[in-house]
């Protein structure tokens, strides 16, 4: 288990396999929390400037082994944790994370990295106050992905694992492994499971209800006059409102 969040802030994260709809939901939650007057900030998986160029170059040249991939992504997370997420939590802000350490617990283990080794790698992180897992049948997520993308990326499809010569088939097999790891983590890390096949509006109502319960009676950081987030907000551009 990860250590308890002892800061005055609130950490809310979303997880799920590719195509589960988690990014849409956390984007809507971000906008809603802002309208409620909270100081809220956003962090995204694999977005640290510290290792961005290294990651991009290694992916392009296909240099990664499962272990080196795991270490580099943890370096990315550690940089964001120490310089962005933790200071904001200590200040009493709400931090929303589109994927968290659990992404590594799923993907890295699906690549064959030792389960306990990966967990120890992220032992500096805290257990989120809310961990939302958007559970969607594999067939549904595959349909969503293939209908909106012209091509699945090499590592996203798990092609480095030699599961299949077909990128689509490899993607299916790789995601099935990841989904299995997520399902095993539900009880271990106290995930709140959301049915990702429900409509966007229904899911968001459920998410808001869960968050409202967590924030009831909580007094966090007062919203500044000019709330300039240190995180890149360009990913939070969802225009769809939920009644």
CATH superfamily ID and name for 10-208: P-loop containing nucleotide triphosphate hydrolases (3.40.50.300)
Query: Do 6 and 90 form a contact (C-beta atoms < 8 A)?
Result: no
To the nearest 10 degrees (0 to 180), the angle between helices 138-148 and 167-188 is: 130
pLDDT at site 235: 43
C-alpha to C-alpha distance for 50 and 103, rounded to whole angstroms: 19
Residues 181-206: b if buried by 16+ CB within 10 A, e if exposed: bbeebeeebebeebebeeeeeebbeb
- Kindly report the backbone phi and psi dihedral angles of residue 11, in degrees, each rounded to the nearest multiple of 5, phi listed first: -115, 120
pLDDT at 224 over 90: no
Name the token pair of 56.
Answer: 């991009």
- pLDDT, one tens digit per residue, over 178-212 is 999 999 999 999 999 999 999 999 999 999 999 99
Which of these, 81, 89, 181, lies nearest to 124 by C-alpha position? Answer: 81
Q: What would the pLDDT profile of 96-153 be if each residue is shown by its tens digit?
A: 999 999 999 999 999 999 999 999 999 999 999 999 999 999 999 999 998 988 889 9
Cα angle 130, 135, 140; round to 5: 150
CB 47 within 8 A of CB 76: yes
Asked whether the beta carbons of 194 and 135 are under 8 A apart, the reply is: yes
Rounded CA-CA distance 214/7 in Å is 15
User: Which letter does DSSP use for residue 46 in this model?
Assistant: T
pLDDT at residue number 232: 44
Q: What's residue 226's pLDDT?
A: 45
* Angle, vertex CA 89, rays to CA 24 and CA 126, nearest 5: 80
Residue 239 confidence class, pLDDT cut points 50, 70, 90 = very low
DSSP letter for each residue of 147-211: HH-S---TTTTTGGGTS-SSHHHHHHHHHHHHHHHHHHHHHHTTPEEEETTS-HHHHHHHHHHHH
Q: How confident is the model at residue 227 (pLDDT cuts 50, 70, 90)?
A: very low
181: nearest Cα among 101, 243, 123: 101
């Amino acid at each position: 288990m990860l250590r308890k969040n002892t800061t005055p802030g609130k950490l809310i994260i979303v997880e799920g396999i590719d195509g589960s709809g988690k990014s849409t939901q956390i984007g809507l939650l971000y906008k809603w929390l802002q309208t409620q007057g909270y100081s809220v900030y956003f962090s995204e998986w694999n977005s640290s400037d510290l290792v961005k160029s290294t990651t991009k170059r290694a992916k392009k040249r296909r240099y990664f082994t499962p272990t080196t991939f795991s270490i580099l992504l943890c370096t990315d997370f550690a940089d964001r944790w120490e310089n962005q997420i933790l200071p904001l939590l200590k200040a009493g802000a709400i931090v929303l994370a589109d994927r968290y350490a659990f992404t590594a617990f799923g993907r890295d283990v699906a690549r064959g990295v030792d389960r306990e080794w990966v967990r120890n790698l992220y032992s500096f992180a805290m257990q989120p106050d809310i961990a939302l897992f958007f559970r969607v049948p594999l067939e549904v997520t595959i349909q969503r992905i293939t209908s909106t993308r012209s091509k699945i990326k090499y590592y996203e499809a798990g092609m480095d694992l030699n599961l299949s010569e077909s990128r689509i088939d490899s993607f299916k097999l790789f995601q099935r492994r990841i989904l299995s790891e997520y399902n095993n983590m539900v009880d271990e890390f106290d995930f709140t499971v959301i049915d990702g096949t429900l409509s966007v509006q229904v899911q968001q109502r459920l998410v808001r209800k869960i968050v409202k319960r967590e924030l009831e009676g909580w007094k966090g950081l007062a919203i500044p006059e000019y709330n300039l987030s240190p995180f890149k907000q360009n990913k939070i551009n969802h225009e769809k409102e939920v009644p």
